[in-house]
């Protein structure tokens, strides 16, 4: 099993960040709720490959991300519709639309659709990979080696409480969770923490990274003390600037 470490970092990395990244790499290597371990590692590989895709570069420069119809330079043997989805999320996430999501789910032309459960799990794997790769780039060190995929079958667990709300994908409302998700829905209500709850294990894992790289949920609203080397105000200033640069509308 490939384990993350930051021995080559010119800066000290907190132990809790290293532990969170190791848990994430282990999580991504295993079968998920809907994808096998091999598929999940291929999504990680494709996420990295998309950053150097010529079609993706043209998409970034185009008036609309949908104006470019050139085929993407795939780095894996994942299905074409998976590759298209991953590359667009990596290349131009700020301009994706609900219409694009529906076409991706429903399928167009000869390409089949992607089930909403699979869509959410793929998004999670892309987000995990991007968060940890960006951390390495920020330190000025090479990207960490991807984990070796584990064998096994997906659990195919879909929480019965997940339903369609205002968000694109079904999710669990803060006051509608079942006993299996009671561990996750703790603390003050947070709409962003509902984003991946159609696949609850992905929500748990991604926000485990968030707690280490950013702040845990209760810490975000505890203004009586500071938990990092910089203050709440400084953290939010940086977060707002990065969000603006990434065209994040949240």
Sorting pLDDT into bands at 50, 70 and 90, what band is 180? very high
Do 87 and 146 sit in the same domain of this protein?
yes
What is the distance between the alpha carbons of residues 205 and 155, in angstroms, rounded to a whole number?
A: 16
Rounded average pLDDT over 203-226: 94
Q: Which of 149, 198, 209 is nearest to 33 (CA)?
A: 198
Q: Are residues 21 and 137 in the same domain?
A: yes
**Bridge partners (DSSP) listed for residue 163:** 171
8 A C-beta contact, residue 200 and residue 170? no
Residue 56 lies in a domain: yes
What number is the average pLDDT over the span 218-246? 92
As a whole-number percent, the residues of the chain with pLDDT over 90 amount to 86
Residue 250 pLDDT exceeds 70: no
Q: According to the model, what pLDDT value does residue 177 have? A: 97
- Give the pLDDT score at 229: 93
Q: Rg of the chain over CA atoms, in angstroms? A: 18
- Note whether 143 and 224 are same-domain residues: no
Least confident of 14-18, 96-100, 108-112: 108-112
Mark whether 99 and 62 lie in a shared domain: yes
Mean pLDDT of the chain: 94
* Domain contains 99: yes
Residue 75 domain boundaries: 15-213
Report yes or no on 6 lying in a domain: no
Is there a domain that residue 7 lies in?
no
**pLDDT score, position 15:** 97
Q: Is the pLDDT of residue 111 over 70?
A: no
Same domain, 224 and 150: no
> Is residue 117 pLDDT above 70, yes or no?
yes
For residue 8, is it within any domain?
A: no
Q: How far is CA 3 from the centre of its chain?
A: 19
Residue 110 reports pLDDT greater than 90: no
Dist. CA 234–CA 250, nearest whole Å: 19
Is 188 in the same domain as 117? yes
The token pair at 51 is: 């950053």
Q: Residue 10: inside a domain, yes or no?
A: no
How would residue 207 be classed by pLDDT, with cut points 50, 70 and 90?
Answer: very high
Would the pLDDT of 43 be above 80?
A: yes
208 shares its domain with 223? no
Q: For the residues 98-124, what does the mean pLDDT come to?
A: 90
CA–CA distance, 104 with 82 (Å, rounded to integer):
9
Would you say residue 1 lies in a domain?
no
Residues 171, 233 within the same domain: no
Q: What was the pLDDT predicted at 199?
A: 98
Q: Would you state the structure tokens that stand for residue 3, as one six-digit string?
A: 């384990």
User: In this structure, are 137 and 230 located in the same domain?
Assistant: no
Q: Three-class SS of residue 29? A: helix
Residue 136 lies in a domain: yes
Beta-carbon contacts of 44 under 8 Å, excluding residues fewer than 6 positions away, are 28, 125, 128, 129, 146
Tally of domains within the chain: 2
Task: Assess whether 179 and 239 both reside in one domain.
Answer: no
**Cβ distance 92 to 63 under 8 Å?**
no
**Phi and psi (nearest 5°) for 171?**
-155, 175
Whether residue 242 sits in one domain with residue 142 = no
69/158 same-domain check: yes
């Amino acid at each position: 099993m490939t384990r993350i470490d930051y021995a080559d970092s010119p800066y000290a990395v907190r132990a809790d960040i290293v532990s969170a990244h190791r848990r994430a790499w282990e999580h991504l290597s295993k079968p998920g709720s809907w994808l096998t371990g091999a598929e999940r590692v291929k999504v990680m590989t494709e996420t990295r490959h998309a950053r150097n895709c010529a079609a993706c570069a043209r998409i970034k420069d185009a008036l609309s991300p949908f104006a470019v119809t050139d085929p993407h330079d795939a780095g894996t043997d994942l299905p074409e519709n998976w590759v298209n989805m991953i590359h667009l999320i990596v290349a131009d996430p700020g301009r994706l639309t609900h219409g694009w999501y529906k076409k991706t789910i429903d399928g167009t032309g000869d390409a089949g659709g992607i089930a909403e459960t699979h869509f959410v799990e793929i998004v999670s794997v892309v987000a995990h990979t991007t968060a940890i790769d960006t951390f390495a780039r920020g330190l000025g060190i090479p990207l960490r080696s991807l984990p070796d995929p584990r064998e096994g079958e997906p659990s195919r667990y879909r929480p019965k409480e997940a339903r369609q709300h205002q968000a694109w994908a079904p999710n669990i409302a803060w006051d509608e969770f079942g006993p299996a998700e009671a561990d996750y829905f703790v603390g003050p209500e947070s709409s962003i923490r509902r984003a991946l709850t159609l696949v609850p294990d992905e929500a748990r894992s991604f926000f485990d990274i968030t707690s280490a790289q950013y702040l845990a949920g209760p810490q975000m609203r505890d203004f009586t003390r500071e938990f990092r080397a910089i203050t709440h105000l400084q953290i939010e200033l940086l977060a707002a600037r990065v969000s603006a640069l990434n065209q994040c509308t949240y």
